[in-house]
């Protein structure tokens, strides 16, 4: 077993779980198109026994009513894109394909500046955790090129 094999398996698992979760969330968003999100959230809050007239739930309801179908559709497209990309990356990483290593490094690395911006905009522990995980993924894959197949020259 090559050094770093266990970390690569964790990256594959992480990318797979993220991809599946993003696609599941996409299906949920698809079902929310043409629905009044404020009424839906109020109903869910009432069903869970939460105070739908309270500050927090009231704030969420107001923000949800500001979202139009266009915003939901854009979110849906972004989630499907990221979900499929994560699943393609995990498939390629699982099969130790060189293209998957580069796709993952470029795709994950491209989001790091945005993640830093988000942390400065509104700090949260989850945002920091995602930034650390993605930074470690980029670093690991850039450092451990020996884990991936090299193309054989023709006729060899």
pLDDT at 102: 93
Two tokens at 73?
A: 């559709």
pLDDT at 54: 81
Question: What range does the domain containing 63 cover?
Answer: 5-147
Give domain status of residue 15, yes or no.
Answer: yes
The structural domain count of the chain equals: 1
pLDDT at 75: 86
The backbone torsions φ and ψ at residue 110, rounded to the nearest 5 degrees and listed phi first, read -65, -25
Give domain status of residue 52, yes or no.
Answer: yes
Helix (H) or strand (E) holding 8: helix 5-32
Give domain status of residue 91, yes or no.
Answer: yes
pLDDT at 3: 72
With tokens 């559709």, the residue in question is 73
Query: Read out DSSP for 76-140?
Result: HHHHHHHHHHHHHHHHHHHTT-HHHHHHHHHHHHHHHHHHHHHHHHS--HHHHHHHHHHHHHHHH
If the chain, 156 residues long, is cut into consecutive pieces of 10 residues, what is the mean pLDDT of each piece?
83 96 90 80 81 80 79 89 96 94 94 94 92 95 83 58
Give domain status of residue 138, yes or no.
Answer: yes
Q: For residue 56, what are the CA distances in angstroms to 37, 39, 114?
A: 15, 15, 27
Give domain status of residue 152, yes or no.
Answer: no
Two tokens at 143?
A: 């450092």
* Contact between residue 141 and residue 11 where contact means Cβ atoms under 8 Å apart: yes
With tokens 């996409």, the residue in question is 26
Could you tell me the pTM of the whole model?
0.77
Cα angle at 106 between 105 and 109, to 5 degrees?
75
């Amino acid at each position: 077993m090559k050094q770093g094999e266990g970390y690569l398996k964790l990256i594959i698992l992480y990318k797979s779980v993220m991809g599946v979760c993003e696609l599941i969330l996409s299906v949920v968003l698809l079902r929310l198109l043409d629905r009044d999100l404020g009424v839906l959230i109020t109903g869910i809050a009432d069903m869970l026994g939460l105070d739908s007239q309270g500050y927090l739930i009231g704030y969420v309801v107001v923000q949800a009513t500001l979202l139009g179908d266009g915003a939901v559709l854009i979110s849906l497209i972004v989630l499907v894109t990221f979900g499929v990309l994560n699943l393609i990356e995990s498939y390629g990483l699982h099969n130790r394909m060189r293209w998957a290593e580069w796709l993952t490094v470029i795709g994950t690395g491209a989001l790091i500046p945005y993640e830093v911006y988000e942390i400065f905009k509104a700090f949260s522990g989850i945002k920091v955790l995602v930034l650390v995980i993605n930074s470690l993924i980029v670093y690991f894959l850039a450092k451990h090129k020996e884990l991936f197949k090299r193309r054989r020259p023709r006729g060899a």
